Amino acid sequence: MKLAFSTLGVPGLPLSDVLRLATAHGYHGVELRTHPEEPVHPDLTVAERADVAAAFKAAGVEILGLAGYTRVAAPGEDGPVLAELRALLDLARDLGAPYVRVFPGGGDGQSPQEADATAARRLGTAAEHAADRGVRILLETHDSHRTGAAAMRVLGLVGHRRVGALWDVMHTWLGGEQPSETFAALSPHLGYVQVKDIASADDATPLPLGTGVLPLAECVEVLSRHNWDGWLCWEYEKRWHEGAAPLPGLLDAGREHLARLLNDSA
C-alpha cells in the first residue's frame, strides 16, 4: 500500500512546503483539500493548474485526490450541486488527480430513502462527466451516510464504475461498524482509505496515529488479508482543531506506525 497525507493537516501551507514535507518524510502522495482558502481550488487559471501539476511531477509526489466539499445528498436543486462537482472533476483532470472526494450531506427533514435517491441521481448524472475526464468520484463515509452499509445504499443505485467509495475509518467506527463489515460493504467500490486517530467517541481532536481509540490495526489487517493494494491517507484534522499538535512534527512517527501495521499484517 502507498501512503499519503491530507493538506487538511497543514491548512493554507504553500504547495512548495507541502511537497517538501512529503519528500522529506517519505510519503508517496498528498490529498489536496480543495477550498478557496487553500492553494488549490477550482478558480485556478489554466496556467496555475499546469504549474501545480508540474511541481508535483518534479517532486515525484502523486496527487492522490481532491478533497472537495460537494454534498451530493443535500436538499435543493440539482443544478448547483452538479456544477460544483463538474468543476472539481475538471480541476482533477487538469492536475492529473485520479479521485475527487464528495460528502453525502443528507438531512434537513429528508428520509434516508430521499437522501439515497438524491445522491444516486446526482452521482449517476456526474459519472459520465467523470468518465470523460478520466477521474473517479468517491463518496466518503461521512455525516448522513457514515457507515459502509449506508454508502452502499447509494452506490448500489448508481452502479457506475466511475463512482466509488472513500472509507473514513473514524466515521465507520462512530457508526458502530467493524472494519471487516465496512470492507465487505465497500470493497467492490473502494478508492482509498482515510486513516486517523482520536481520543474518544466524544472527543475528535486529532492525535498521532496509534495513540487513540480508532481500530487502525484491524483496518490494515483486513485490507492486507484481502490483498487490497491501494492508498492509506492520513487525514489529520488540524484545520478544525487549532489546539492540536502541528502535523509536520508527527509525519515521521505516523509513517513508521503505518509501516509497522503493514508489516505485521503481511
Q: What is the pLDDT of residues 24-53, one digit of tens each?
A: 999 999 999 999 999 999 999 999 999 999
Q: What is the pLDDT of residues 60-100, one digit of tens each?
A: 999 999 999 999 999 999 999 999 999 999 999 999 999 99
Domain spans in the chain, listed from the N-terminal domain onward: 2-265
Q: How far apart are CA 252 and CA 266, in angstroms?
A: 21
**Can you give the pLDDT at residue 107?**
86
Query: Per-residue b/e over 160-169, b at no fewer than 16 CB within 10 Å?
Result: bebbbbbbbb
Q: What is the pLDDT of residues 146-187, one digit of tens each?
A: 999 999 999 999 999 999 999 999 999 999 999 999 999 999
Residue 266 has pLDDT above 80, yes or no: no
Q: What is the pLDDT of residues 98-146, one digit of tens each?
A: 999 999 999 888 999 999 999 999 999 999 999 999 999 999 999 999 9
Its pTM stands at 0.97
User: Picking from 48-52, 179-183, 237-241, 247-251, which range would have the lowest pLDDT averaged per residue?
Assistant: 237-241
**DSSP of the chain, one letter per residue?**
-EEEEEGGGSTT--HHHHHHHHHHTT-SEEEEE-STTSS--TT--HHHHHHHHHHHHHHT-EEEEEEEEEETT-SS-HHHHHHHHHHHHHHHHHHT-SEEEEE----TT--HHHHHHHHHHHHHHHHHHHHHHT-EEEEESBTTB-SHHHHHHHHHHH--TTEEEEEEHHHHHHTT--HHHHHHHHGGGEEEEEE--EEETTEEEE--TTSSSS-HHHHHHHHHHTT---EEEE---GGG-TTSPPSGGGHHHHHHHHHHHHHHH-
Tell me the pLDDT band of 265, cut-offs 50, 70 and 90.
confident
Query: Does domain 2-265 correspond to CATH entry 3.30.1950.10?
Result: no
Q: What is the pLDDT of residues 181-233, one digit of tens each?
A: 999 999 999 999 999 999 999 999 999 999 999 999 999 999 999 999 999 99
